[in-house]
Chain A
Amino acid sequence: MQRIGVFVCWCGSNIAATVDVKAVAEALKSEPGVVYSADYQYMCSQAGQDLIKEAVKEHNLTGIVVCSCSPRMHEATFRKTAAAAGLNPYMVEIANIREQCSWVHKDIPSGTEKAIILGKAAVAKVNLNTPLTPGESPVTKRALVIGGGIAGIQTALDIADAGFPVDIVEKNPTIGGKMAQLDKTFPTLDCAACILTPKMVDVAQNDKIRIFSYSEVSEIKGFVGNFDVTIRKKARYVKEDVCTGCGLCVEKCPQKKIPNEFNLGMDNRSAIYIPFAQAVPKVATIDAEACTMLKKGKCGLCSKVCTAGAIDYKQQDELISEKYGAIVVATGFNPISMEKFDEYAYSQSKDVITSLEFERLTNAAGPTAGKLLRPSDLKHPHTIVFVQCVGSRCASCAEKGKEYCSKICCMYTAKHAMLTRDKYPDTDVYVFYIDVRTPGKNFDEFYRRAVEEYGVHYIKGMVGKVTPEGDKLKVRASDLLNNKQLNIDADLVVLAAAIEPDKSARPLATMLTASMDTNDFFTEAHPKLRPVESPTAGVFLSGACQGPKDIPETVSQAGAAASKVIGLLAKDKLTGNPCVASSDELMCNGCSSCERVCPYGAISYIDKEFRMPDRTVAIRRVASVNPAVCQGCGACTVACPSGAMDLRGFASGQIMAEVDAICK
């Protein structure tokens, strides 16, 4: 039997004005288990807390009920008080007689009556409370970053800077991501490669960071602090530690007609290739689908010319298992496919391109060596039409496009238009916009410069149709402000395609049991206050995998994610929430109902030996809850058909007792 002390707080006049606190204390005295009852002006004050501590000692209390404000306010305070008095902190229950009683009810009799009932419910619950101890689990002091774009790079550098080892897994042969493909960056117009490649080199030279390039995560098990990850290192048929990146093999390879992904298929590469000059690691990779040697067993030229002897046609995919304490998702984005947008003739004409293709066309390392030439006939375009919001801001029921604003298009289009006018003042540049959205430091100034200094024609309206005719593109568009329809003969049309999360994000989310929104962006634990954490403990979000972002935002989010990871890895042990589910193995029938409803993957099944009455041993499949992963929602307790699953701190018996006390 518990020995319970009841402490009724006046909260000055906040409670005492509508609740007769003396009557409440008196009424609760006769409840089962209650051995002491008192009231005081401010229970949360030092004097009030001392009163509780003394009562615990004097009356040998085993449980405490505080009738006061919301538990969201002072539950932690009174738990600490209990702990200081030598009680288990989870033997404290709060009856909320302020927010949910005195403040919302006006007359004293009904307020007092309700306060007594709430007190009785709390007493009934405490009678069934058991001491709880939070579980502890060790932390593996190593982080995994999935994705090697600017988000992943920055996160890895920041974590490594704090002294923790980090691994980057990148599915492409090199890190660098989308930023490596960009030409200039808004609004400062510094060149993307000039600011990115030093960071890539930093990553390569940092002895705390390992890069698994041309690799994918194939399995994730475990939980916060203790993830077991299997990484599939795809065969690149080149020994990474031997290759010097001299490029001789690339030069000699006879198979040269493979569309170059890095330049978005606007030129060709060879079957053995290094994506770009500053690639990290600077190691050649053989495209197995294009290589004659790997397909037909003939050729072998690269092996012959390689002085380092790095080519290995027999290389196999390699599985690497590693333990991590934290995982950062930085899977990034891609522009959406333009194929469904027939009206813009993207599939019909080579001269209708996306903005990312335009970046490559203006990049000195791109297919035209930085000269702005139209892809079809390599002539200089004189009239360029930029179309914004292609596939962004579409109705949710629309067959094509995305509902959200892709955020970066207004600014990069302004940049493209400005740079074109700067380099080629003889070109006419039109930008069709619905709204120009420029929230950001120096963003609107940048856009205004494009209009005022560089004479870009910004037209409020939308392009309705692009028709290839001869070597021109007939662009039909509306000019809403002048109430006119425009027909422009353009040489080049650039579509600001919406961006979407990378396709690899969805299967990864499933592996991580991390939640995603309907657009496949990762959801954050709290949209305002925990923006870089996934609701799944130990999983953090960096960059555009969480939502459209420009580079500065991505870098700051990457730093924020890193600091959260460092905070986690700096701990030696994780203290869990003790209010977690637990299964009564004797009652569990191994049906898997609980496993299916658990949003965190905290429940697994184990085969356990049971000693039977007739001295035989039976092996049964029973549920086992991992307390480090369980967040204590209780979904499993209701799903369990046999009643084996219960939630500590909110046990079925406790809630039933509260119901009974209220309905008495």
Chain B
Amino acid sequence: MNNKEKLLKEEILRMSGVNPVKCMRCGKCSGTCPAYDEMEYHPHQFVSMVESGDIEPLLESKSLYRCLTCFACVDRCPRNVEPAKLVEAVRLLAVRKQGANHLKPEDVAAVLDDDTPQQLLVSAFRKYAK
């Protein structure tokens, strides 16, 4: 882990409040994730990649925007690692870094429907209201 990676990792851990060393690598988060097939990096990989400082690929990945923030992984993790919070932190970092939006605000309305979780709306709003 070089210095830059270390700083990035610290930033993410501070933002999310997650301690990835608590993970015992059981994979229940990925076993439970409804958006698994859409994601390039899966919840358990987020945890282990952040732990090893391998954050750049995560920042580049589309996986960030495939996470539904449904918190199933947080609910079911036996070790209280809370992977979704980690995904959210990486996502925030990416958004802040980009300075631009992944979707344009006017596009948001088109992707909304009754089934969209409220959490997603909130994080979408956070992302786009800049």
Residues of A bordering B, CB below 8 Å: 343, 389, 393-395, 397-398, 401, 432, 434, 460-465, 476-478, 480, 483, 485
Q: Is the beta-carbon distance between B26 and A462 smaller than 8 angstroms?
A: yes
Chain A residues near B22 (CB, 8 Å)?
395
Chain B residues near A477 (CB, 8 Å)?
31
Given A434-B26, A461-B27, A463-B28, CB of A394 within 8 Å of CB of B79? yes
Which of A398, A463, A464, A480 has the most B CB atoms < 10 Å from its CB?
A: A464
Q: Can you identify 24 A-B contacts, CB atoms within 8 angstroms?
A: A343-B76, A389-B78, A393-B24, A394-B78, A395-B22, A395-B78, A395-B81, A397-B80, A434-B25, A460-B27, A462-B26, A463-B31, A464-B30, A464-B32, A465-B31, A465-B76, A476-B31, A478-B29, A480-B27, A480-B30, A483-B42, A483-B45, A485-B30, A485-B31
A389 and B24 alpha carbons, distance in the complex (Å)? 12
Smallest Cβ-Cβ distance to A392: which chain B residue:
B78
Q: Is the beta-carbon distance between B32 and A343 smaller than 8 angstroms?
A: yes
Q: Is the beta-carbon distance between B80 and A478 smaller than 8 angstroms?
A: no
Smallest Cβ-Cβ distance to A475: which chain B residue:
B31
Which 6 pairs across A and B sit closest by C-beta, in order of nearness?
Answer: A464-B32, A464-B31, A462-B28, A478-B30, A478-B31, A485-B36
A483 and B27 alpha carbons, distance in the complex (Å)? 10
A394 and B79 alpha carbons, distance in the complex (Å)? 5
Taking the complex as formed, is B120 at the interface, i.e. its CB lies under 8 A from any CB of chain A?
no
Q: Is the beta-carbon distance between A398 and B78 smaller than 8 angstroms?
A: yes
A-B contact count (CB 8 A): 74
User: At the interface, is chain B mostly helix, strand, loop or mixed?
Assistant: helix
- Provide the B15-29 mask, 1 if CB < 8 A to any CB of A, else 0: 000000010111111
Q: Is the beta-carbon distance between B33 and A485 smaller than 8 angstroms?
A: yes
A594 and B65 alpha carbons, distance in the complex (Å)? 64
How distant is A474 from chain B, measured CB to nearest CB, in Å? 12
Which residues of B10-55 have CB atoms within 8 Å of chain A's CB atoms?
A: 22, 24-33, 36-37, 42, 44-45
How distant is B81 from chain A, measured CB to nearest CB, in Å? 8
Chain B residues near A462 (CB, 8 Å)?
26-28, 31
Q: Is the beta-carbon distance between B42 and A478 smaller than 8 angstroms?
A: yes
Chain B residues near A480 (CB, 8 Å)?
25, 27, 30, 44
Chain B residues near A398 (CB, 8 Å)?
78-80
How distant is A351 from chain B, measured CB to nearest CB, in Å? 19
Chain B residues near A461 (CB, 8 Å)?
26-27, 30-31
Smallest Cβ-Cβ distance to B22: which chain A residue:
A395
Given A485-B33, A485-B36, CB of A464 within 8 Å of CB of B28? yes
Smallest Cβ-Cβ distance to A481: which chain B residue:
B27
Q: Is the beta-carbon distance between B80 and A395 smaller than 8 angstroms?
A: yes
Which of B22, B29, B73, B76 has the most A CB atoms < 10 Å from its CB?
A: B76
Chain B residues near A389 (CB, 8 Å)?
26, 78
Smallest Cβ-Cβ distance to A394: which chain B residue:
B78
Chain A residues near B76 (CB, 8 Å)?
343, 464-465
Q: Is the beta-carbon distance between A478 and B27 smaller than 8 angstroms?
A: yes
How distant is A535 from chain B, measured CB to nearest CB, in Å? 31
A480 and B26 alpha carbons, distance in the complex (Å)? 8
Taking the complex as formed, is B8 at the interface, i.e. its CB lies under 8 A from any CB of chain A?
no
Which residues of B68-102 have CB atoms within 8 Å of chain A's CB atoms?
A: 72-73, 75-81
Q: Is the beta-carbon distance between A485 and B79 smaller than 8 angstroms?
A: no
Chain A residues near B73 (CB, 8 Å)?
464
A483 and B46 alpha carbons, distance in the complex (Å)? 13
Chain B residues near A465 (CB, 8 Å)?
31-32, 72, 76
Smallest Cβ-Cβ distance to B80: which chain A residue:
A395
A263 and B66 alpha carbons, distance in the complex (Å)? 46
Chain A residues near B27 (CB, 8 Å)?
434, 460-462, 478, 480
